[in-house]
Amino acid sequence: MQYAFVDGSKVEARKGLKGICIGCGNEMIPKCGESKLHHWAHRVLTKCDSWWERETIWHREWKDQFPESYREISFYDEIMQEYHRADVHTPEGLTIEFQNSSLSIAELQSREAFYQKLIWVINGLKFKGFSLGKSIPDPKSAILKEYELSGGSHVVYTRKSERLFPPRLKDKFTLEHPAFNHIQASNIHYSFDWKHAHKAWLQSNLPVFIDLGGHFLYWLKKREQASGEFFYLQMVSKLTFINRYHKHPI
């Protein structure tokens, strides 16, 4: 953990300090080695927060974008009878979790049920078989109302009226087709390929933002269609994202 209570205040780990866990109240000792992030650890292994994952520089850099008073906020879980620490919890009651490893669908659902107002930021640099495709028109724009979208990074547009025809009779369009001359790709919507997709993220009904490094996040979006869901990404600058939830520091 980045913080523990020392004499009643939230303090970062420093050699020689003794802390108290913000969650369970047990004794914490500072770990301040050369190679690892300075952090606090429980002196004795306790059932504290089973959801907590080993903190990386990636986590720490994200949390550091938010006021200290928003970081590592503990909540008691009556059902699991343990404390959970939100990575970031804003005064408006919104939790932001930075997740490095994949979750099972059951894990995802229990966290989403617990926090309710939750946003996920996930580390996409760890995904296998993931690649960003081309920019595409906004899949929810009126201009595509008559089409169903499919495919991974190479999006195929099929007219809804032809959806029930045998495959060889269907007109399948790509953006390069002359019929699409009047349709512009947007600058912020992208297709993607994800060969070994983490199913839990695709099933989440809460906002999921993928961090691929660089200055942007990619918001995982879906379009409900008669032929099945179509997933795509909406680019958001990290600065916009951070400023959006950073407005009212205490």
Using CB under 5 A as the criterion, which residues of the chain lie in contact with Zn ion when the complex forms?
21, 23-24, 48
d(CA 190, CA 135): 4
Q: How far is the CB of 156 from Zn ion (least distance, A)?
A: 51
- 24/144 with CB nearer Zn ion: 24
Nearer to Zn ion, 20 or 32 (CB): 20
For residues 63 and 84, which CB has a smaller minimum distance to Zn ion in the complex? 84
Q: Which is nearer to Zn ion, 114 or 230 (CB)?
A: 114
Question: At a CB cut-off of 8 Å and minimum separation 6, what does 55 contact?
Answer: 1, 2, 37, 39
Q: Residue 46 has which token pair? A: 């306790």
Provide the minimum distance between the beta carbon of 47 and Zn ion in the complex, in angstroms, as a whole number. 9
**Is 41 or 242 the residue whose CB approaches Zn ion more closely?**
41
Shortest Å, Cβ 55 to Zn ion:
14
Q: Least distance to Zn ion from the beta carbon of 65, Å? A: 24
CB of 85 to Zn ion, least distance (A): 8
Smallest gap from Cβ 2 to Zn ion, in A, equals 13
Of 40 and 66, CB closest to Zn ion = 40
Whether the CB-CB separation of 190 and 236 falls below 8 Å is answered with no
